[in-house]
């Protein structure tokens, strides 16, 4: 089987199977071998690695992963792609294909079965419409991961690595930077895909921390506060938090902070009571969460 990472090879397999692109799955297949090779290098795939690929499509990047890793599990939601993958990956005995929704897959079980519970690497060309839920799901499940190397919409990649005081800074930025060190590897124009998406893309590598860079007494509560702070960006932090309730300890018991409580906590941190959430660093959100917990 020839490599699929060219427009002609991709068009040929699509025609052979009379495949129709599904807009609801955000399908855009990569057709540039140089970019495929660079993704494999930047993901630092080694011969003893266990890799999970999200959304293999017709198997374009899966072929490269299979040749560089010990074990590859490709998770594809579109059942119409499964017969194609059986053909394009026929030569590789180290690839397993799961016809499932990645949001419902037990990655911990895959890690246990395929890699003895050791950290796995995630590589993906993610559908734009569901990028954030997938990334957050991977982080919040606390499954053993060493890195996540993904193609995403350029503005989402920018959001992941930006800092306080910028328009792109938000809950996703803070979550990514709590769990991992983000690094944009390259920007990819629409012309490198079939069909061409309407926006530019970026490949970003998230190298997971062994320990978060900040400490907080209650991670769930801190992220509830962060989400509330950015739900209404134009409001002051005190007003945003006073109008929100939170899930504590994973249970649906909600507690509401008063504006006075938030202002007092900000005062202890020597911050203005008129400050907005977009001005706080991750370390300051952790400190605010701990103060409000008391």
Q: Which of 101, 125, 156 is nearest to 26 (CA)?
A: 125
For the chain, give every domain's residue range. 7-208, 219-293
Given CA atoms 249, 255, 256, 257 in this order, what sign does their dihedral have? negative
pLDDT, mean of residues 251-256:
58
Where do the H-state alpha helices sit in the chain? 7-16, 33-42, 60-68, 82-88, 107-115, 131-140, 154-161, 171-179, 219-231, 237-242, 259-268, 282-293
d(CA 257, CA 117): 40
Residue 76 contacts residue 69 (beta carbons within 8 Å) = no
Mean pLDDT, the chain, as a whole number? 92
Give residue 148's Cα distance to chain centre.
7
CATH topology of domain 7-208: Rossmann fold (3.40.50)
Kindly report, residue by residue over 118-166, the tens digit of the pLDDT.
999 999 999 888 899 999 999 988 899 999 999 999 999 999 999 999 9
Pick from 110, 104, 4, 102: nearest CA to 55: 102
Strands 245-248 and 251-256: antiparallel
Nearest to 5 by CA among 30, 28, 26, 25: 30
Matching residue, tokens 């309730």: 245
| CATH 3.90.180.10 describes domain 219-293 | no
pLDDT digits (tens, 9 = 90+) for 175-219: 999 999 999 999 999 999 999 999 999 999 999 999 999 999 999
Q: What is the pLDDT of residues 71-109, one digit of tens each?
A: 999 999 999 999 999 999 999 999 999 999 999 999 999
Residue 276 has pLDDT above 90, yes or no: yes
Q: What percent of the chain has pLDDT over 90?
A: 82
Least confident of 5-19, 185-199, 226-240, 276-290: 226-240
């Amino acid at each position: 089987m020839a490599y699929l990472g060219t427009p002609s090879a991709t068009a040929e397999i699509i025609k052979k199977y009379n495949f129709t692109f599904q807009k609801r799955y955000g399908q855009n297949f990569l057709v540039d071998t140089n970019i495929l090779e660079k993704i494999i290098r930047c993901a630092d795939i080694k011969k003893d690695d266990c890799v999970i690929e999200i959304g293999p499509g017709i198997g374009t990047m899966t072929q490269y992963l299979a040749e560089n890793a010990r074990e590859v599990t490709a998770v594809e939601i579109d059942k119409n792609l499964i017969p194609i993958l059986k053909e394009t990956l026929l030569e590789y005995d180290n690839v397993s294909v799961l016809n499932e929704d990645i949001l419902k897959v037990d990655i911990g079980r895959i890690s246990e079965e395929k890699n003895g519970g050791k950290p796995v690497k995630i590589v993906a060309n993610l559908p734009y419409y569901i990028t954030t839920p997938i990334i957050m799901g991977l982080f919040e499940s606390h499954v053993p991961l060493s890195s996540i190397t993904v193609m995403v919409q350029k503005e989402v990649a920018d959001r992941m690595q930006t800092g306080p005081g910028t328009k792109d800074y938000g809950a996703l930025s803070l979550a990514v930077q709590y769990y991992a060190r983000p690094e944009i590897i390259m920007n990819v124009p629409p012309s490198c895909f079939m069909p061409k998406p309407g926006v530019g893309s970026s490949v970003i590598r998230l190298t997971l921390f062994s320990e978060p860079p900040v400490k907080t007494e209650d991670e769930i509560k801190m992220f509830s506060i962060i989400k509330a702070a950015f739900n209404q960006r134009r409001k002051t932090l005190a007003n945003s938090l006073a109008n929100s309730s939170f899930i504590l300890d994973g249970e649906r018991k909600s507690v509401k902070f008063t504006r006075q409580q938030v202002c007092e906590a900000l005062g202890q941190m020597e911050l203005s009571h008129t400050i907005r959430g977009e001005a706080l660093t991750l370390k300051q959100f952790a400190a605010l969460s701990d103060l409000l917990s008391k």
